[in-house]
Amino acid sequence: MHETGLSDAIVQAVLDRADGRKVTAVRVRVGGHIGGHEVDPHVIDQGFRVAAAGTPAQDADVEVVIEPLAVRCRDCGVQGAALDAPALAACPCCGGVDIEVVGGADVQLEEITFGGGV
C-alpha cells in the first residue's frame, strides 16, 4: 500500500475510534515492506498530518514503529528477519526461497491517546 493511502486509512481508523474527542498521540506499527516496497515512516507521518488537518487528530504526535519483514523457511523451518524485500525474500539461515511471510507485512493501530476538549 502506498504511504499516502496508508496514512489516510490510519487517520480514518483513529477518527472512527476518537468519536469526536481530541487526539493527542497515536502509535502505529507498520510492516517494513507493505505492497512490495519499503515503507518510509517519515512519509507516513507527513501523510498523517495532511490527512488529519482540520480534524480532532490534527495536532497529534505520531509514532510510527517499523516492524521488519519476518519469514519462515519451509525448507529448514527457521523463522527470522527476511534478507530482502518480499519479492526477493530468502531464508536468513539457509538462503532458501520457499518461504512464507509471518510478520512485518501488516498495519496495527497500537495506541491512541485522547486529550481534553474537542
β-partners of residue 80 are 71
Q: Please check if 93 is assigned to a binding site.
A: no
For the segment 30-59, what is each residue's pLDDT rounded down to a tens digit?
987 666 667 889 999 999 999 999 999 999
Number of domains in the chain: 1
Judged against a pLDDT cut of 50, whether residue 5 lies above it is answered with: yes
Q: Name residues whose C-beta falls within 8 Å of residue 27's C-beta, 6 or more positions apart in sequence.
A: 63, 65, 110, 111
Judged against a pLDDT cut of 50, whether residue 100 lies above it is answered with: yes
Is residue 10 assigned to a domain? yes
Q: pTM of the entire structure?
A: 0.79
Pairwise pLDDT comparison (51 vs 70), residue with the higher score:
51
Is residue 74 assigned to a domain? no
Is residue 7 assigned to a domain? yes
Alpha-carbon distance of 20 to 59, in angstroms, equals 14
Residue ranges making up the domain that contains 18 = 3-68+104-115
Residue 60 and residue 16 in contact, taking contact as beta carbons nearer than 8 Å: no
Q: Please check if 37 is assigned to a binding site.
A: no
Pairwise pLDDT comparison (87 vs 101), residue with the higher score:
101
Is residue 54 assigned to a domain? yes
Q: Please check if 76 is assigned to a binding site.
A: yes
Q: Residue 49's closest CA among 7, 110, 5, 92?
A: 7
Is residue 97 assigned to a domain? no
Is residue 73 assigned to a domain? no
The domain that contains 62 carries what CATH number?
3.30.2320.50
Tell me 21's DSSP state: P
Is residue 83 assigned to a domain? no
Rounded mean pLDDT of 77-87?
72
Rounded mean pLDDT of 108-114?
97
Is residue 22 assigned to a domain? yes
Pairwise pLDDT comparison (95 vs 82), residue with the higher score:
95
Residue 118 has a pLDDT of 45
